Structure 1
Amino acid sequence: MDRLDAMRLFTRIVELGSFTAAADHLNLPRATVTHTVKRLEARLGAQLLQRTTRRVRATREGEAYYGHCVRLLADVEAVEADFRQASAQPRGRLRIDLPTLMARLWLIPALPAFFARYPLIDLDIGTSDGFVDLLREGVDCVVRVGQLPDSSLVGRSIGNLGQVSLASASYIRRHGTPRTLADLLKGHYAVNWASPTTHRVEPLEFMVGRKRREVTLPGQVTVSGVEAYMACVEAGLGIAQFPRYRVADGLASGQLKEILSSTPPPSLPVTVLYPPHRQMPARLRVFVDWLVEVIGKQL
Structure 2
Amino acid sequence: MAVDLNLLLLFAEIAETPNLSRAAKRLGVSRSSISQRLKVLERQMGAQLLRRTTRRVDLTDAGRTAYEHAIRIREDASAVQAAMAGHTKHPRGHVRLSVPTGLGRLVLAPVLIDFLARYPDITLQVSFSNRVGDLIAGNIDVAVRIMSDPPDTVVARELCPVEWRLCAAPDLVEALPVANPDDLAGHAIVAPPPAGRDHVIQLRRNGRNRILSVVPRVQAEDFLFLQDALMAGAGIGMLPDYMADPAISDGRLMALLTDYQVIGPGDRILLLTTPTAHPAPAVRALVEFLRASVPDWALARRAGRPPPAGTESAALPRS
Taking structure 2 as the reference length, what is the TM-score of the superposition?
0.75
Aligned to 2:316: none
**Preserved contact between residue 154 and residue 274 of structure 1 (Cα < 8 Å):** yes
Following superposition, the deviation at residue 109 of structure 1 comes to 2.7
Question: Relative to 1, partners in 2 of residues 1:121 and 1:68: Cα closer, same or farther, differing over 3 Å?
Answer: farther
Higher mean C-alpha deviation, range 244-253 or range 118-127: 244-253
Task: Give the aligned partner of residue 140 of structure 1.
Answer: 141
CA distance in 2, matches of 1:87, 1:96: 20
Structure 2 residue 255 is matched with structure 1 residue 258: yes
Deviation digits for residues 129-159 of structure 1, max 9, x if unmatched? 1111124434222111121145142221111
Once the two structures are TM-superposed, the CA of residue 87 in structure 1 deviates from its matched residue by: 6.3
User: Quick check: 1:204–1:241 contact (8 Å CA) kept in 2?
Assistant: no
Give 2:52's aligned amino acid: Q
Kindly report which structure 2 residues correspond to 1:126-165, keeping only aligned pairs within 5 A, or say none: 126-165=127-166
- What does residue 93 of structure 1 align with? 94
Question: Where do residues 67-78 of structure 1 align in structure 2 (5 Å cutoff)?
Answer: 67-78=68-79
* Separation of aligned partners in 2, 1:249 and 1:60: 48
Give the Å deviation of 1:48. 1.0
Match of 1:203 among 192, 201, 204: 201
- Which residue of 2 is the match for residue 51 of structure 1? 53
1:143-222 aligned at under 5 Å gives the runs 143-169=144-170, 171-174=172-175, 176-181=176-181, 184=183, 187-188=186-187, 190-191=189-190, 194-195=193-194, 201-206=199-204, 208=205, 211=207, 213-221=209-217
Shift of 1:75: 1.9
Which one-letter code corresponds to 2:215 in the other structure? Answer: G
Tell me by how many angstroms 1:58 deviates. Answer: 2.4
Structure 1, unaligned runs of 5 or more? none
Distance 2:123 2:67 in 1: 19
- Indicate how the Cα distance of structure 1 residues 266 and 201 shifts in structure 2: closer, same or farther if over 3 A, else same: closer
> Counterpart in 2 of 1:285?
284
Identity of aligned residues (%): 24
CA RMSD of aligned residues (A): 3.4
SS in 1 for 2:16: helix
Question: Partners of 2:28 and 2:213 in 1: how far apart?
Answer: 62
Please say if residues 199 and 214 of structure 2, whose CA atoms lie closer than 8 Å, have aligned partners that are also in contact: no
Contact kept? 1:66, 1:137, Cα under 8 Å: no
Distance 2:146 2:296 in 1: 16
1:253 shift after superposition? 6.8
For structure 2, list consecutive stretches of 5 or more residues without a partner in the other structure.
Answer: 299-319
> May I ask how many residue pairs the two structures share in their alignment?
291
Which string of whole-angstrom CA distances, capped at 9 and with x for unpartnered residues, describes residues 157-189 of structure 1?
111123211123464254x222344x5367456
| CA deviations over 1:257-277 (Å, ceiling 9, x no partner) | 321234342582111122222
Contact 2:202 2:263 in 1 (8 A): no
TM-score by length of 1: 0.79
C-alpha change, 1:104 and 1:248, in structure 2 (3 Å) is same
Q: Is 1:245 aligned to 2:246, yes or no?
A: no
CA distance in 1, matches of 2:28, 2:87: 31
Deviation at 1:78, TM superposition (A): 1.2
- Report the 3-state secondary structure (helix = DSSP H, G, I; strand = E; otherwise coil) of the residue aligned with 1:166: strand
Q: What is the CA–CA distance in structure 1 between the aligned matches of 2:232 and 2:170, rounded to whole Å?
A: 10
